[in-house]
Amino acid sequence: MLGNRAVAGRTTAGAEGDVVVLLIGMRVNHFWAVHHWLPVQLAMVRMLRELRQDKSRGLLSAVLLTASPRTYYVVQYWESKEKLYRYAHAPDAFHRTAWAAFNRKEKAGKARLHVGLWHETYVVPEGSYESIYADMPAFGLAAAHGQVPVERRGRSAKERLAHRSGGGVSA
């Protein structure tokens, strides 16, 4: 969840090691087919609530966004790809129930073309990400991994990209 209090000055995310990012969303293809896309939207809200209530599942942070009046998505930060996969396939998780319901509608031709679903998963190796926040509350990667003074990682993007866990930098 996002904090409301801005942190003065320049900060960066306190991430160590690889970072796992999931972009997941839906596109409303036919606005009039509310009975097809609204359940998908509500299922995402329910899954996020489930994940926030059980931190052991591995979701660190999530930001809901609107790309257009038709396209909605969530940027999610995970502890590991293993925890993300485990949640996606867990028999006790709502994701499995929601995905099965969507597949049944698709197979029966009832949801075809009314709502689109998509996701992209990224495992970003250490040394391949950097961030900077100026007078911002913890957001995005910093909301997931903590917010630290920018000087702890480097003053430039190049220095922050060279940062390694344990205090080292790569050449």
Is 82 a domain residue?
A: yes
Is the model's pLDDT at 169 over the cut of 60? no
What tens digit of pLDDT does each residue of 56-104 get? 999 999 999 999 999 999 999 999 999 999 999 999 999 999 888 887 8
Q: Which residues contact 48 (CB under 8 A, 6 or more apart)?
A: 59, 62, 64, 74
What tens digit of pLDDT does each residue of 25-56 get? 999 999 999 988 999 999 999 999 999 999 99
Is 1 a domain residue?
A: no
User: Given this model, what pLDDT does residue 14 score?
Assistant: 93
Question: Which amino acid is residue 39, in one-letter code?
Answer: P
User: Given this model, what pLDDT does residue 3 score?
Assistant: 59
Is 149 a domain residue?
A: yes
Domains: count for the chain: 2
Q: Would you give the DSSP letter of residue 6?
A: P
CATH classification at residue 59: 3.30.70.100
3 state DSSP class of 117: strand
Is the model's pLDDT at 2 over the cut of 60? no
Confidence of residue 1 (pLDDT cuts 50, 70, 90): very low
Is 168 a domain residue?
A: no
Whether the pTM exceeds 0.75: the reply is yes
Are 144 and 99 within one domain? no
Are 46 and 68 within one domain? yes
User: Given this model, what pLDDT does residue 114 score?
Assistant: 87
Q: Look up the domain containing 155 and give its range.
A: 7-16+125-161
Residues 101 and 110 sit within 8 Å (Cβ to Cβ): no
User: Given this model, what pLDDT does residue 142 score?
Assistant: 94
Is 155 a domain residue?
A: yes
Distance between CA atoms of residues 154 and 162, nearest Å: 9
Are 130 and 80 within one domain? no
Are 37 and 75 within one domain? yes
CA 152 from centre of chain: 25
Is 167 a domain residue?
A: no
What tens digit of pLDDT does each residue of 98-144 get? 888 887 877 776 666 888 999 999 999 999 999 999 999 999 999 99
